[in-house]
């Protein structure tokens, strides 16, 4: 197994969506498709400063992570579309992707990285990954996604 983290390319889009689609909540894939349909053709213009990385094992994409700039207010960054294929869970690949992004952002002088997740039990592993990697809960917005499903906003000081 030779793992590589590299910038995602437009030809990776379907494989990245397959990683996200390996989980039962299909609306994540549908929303991600909208993002990537806009991201790849506009990466150097509208999405300048945003990055998406693929975790590749040989020729197979097994994970994805990205970040985007809060352009209009704080110049902080948000983590986005962070997934490891369901078949590759529990091998610390998510931690590897997260460390990669944090190292890149640290070099850029980014002070804070934010991420949001859901209180739905399906996302409990994501929440634990963030907490175990130094993120702290900043806010909980009750019933954000639907009644009984809150949005949890976390942050990590990068520099």
71-76 long-range contacts, Cβ below 8 Å, gap at least 24? Answer: 74/112, 76/110, 76/111, 76/112, 76/113, 76/114
Determine the 3-state secondary structure of 77 from DSSP.
strand
Determine the 3-state secondary structure of 62 from DSSP.
strand
User: What are the tens digits of pLDDT across the range 58-82?
Assistant: 999 999 999 998 887 787 899 999 9
User: What are the tens digits of pLDDT across the range 75-101?
Assistant: 789 999 999 999 999 999 999 999 999
What are the distances in angstroms from CA 93 to CA 2, 22, 96? Answer: 12, 16, 5
Burial bucket for residue 17 (CB in 10 Å: 0-12, 13-18, 19+): buried
Determine the 3-state secondary structure of 75 from DSSP.
coil
- Give percent of the chain with pLDDT exceeding 70: 99
Q: Name all domains of the chain by residue range, CATH numbers in brackets.
A: 3-157 (3.40.630.30)
Cβ within 8 Å of residue 128, ≥6 positions away: none
pLDDT of the residue at 62: 98
Cβ atoms 72, 26 nearer than 8 A: no
pLDDT of the residue at 65: 98
């Amino acid at each position: 197994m030779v793992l590589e983290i590299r910038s995602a390319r437009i030809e990776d889009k379907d494989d990245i969506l397959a990683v996200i689609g390996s989980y039962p909540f299909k609306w994540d894939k549908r929303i991600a498709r909208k993002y990537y349909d806009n991201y790849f053709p506009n990466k150097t213009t509208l999405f300048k400063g945003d990055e998406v990385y693929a975790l590749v094992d040989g020729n197979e994409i097994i994970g994805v992570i990205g970040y985007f700039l809060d352009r209009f207010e704080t110049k902080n960054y948000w983590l986005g579309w962070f997934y490891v294929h369901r078949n590759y869970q529990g091998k610390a690949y998510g931690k590897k992707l997260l460390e990669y992004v944090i190292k890149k952002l640290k070099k850029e002088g980014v002070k804070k990285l934010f991420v949001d997740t859901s209180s739905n039990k399906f996302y409990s592993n994501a929440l634990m990954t963030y907490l175990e990697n130094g993120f702290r809960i900043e806010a909980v917005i009750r019933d954000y996604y639907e009644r009984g499903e809150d949005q949890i906003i976390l942050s990590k000081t990068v520099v």
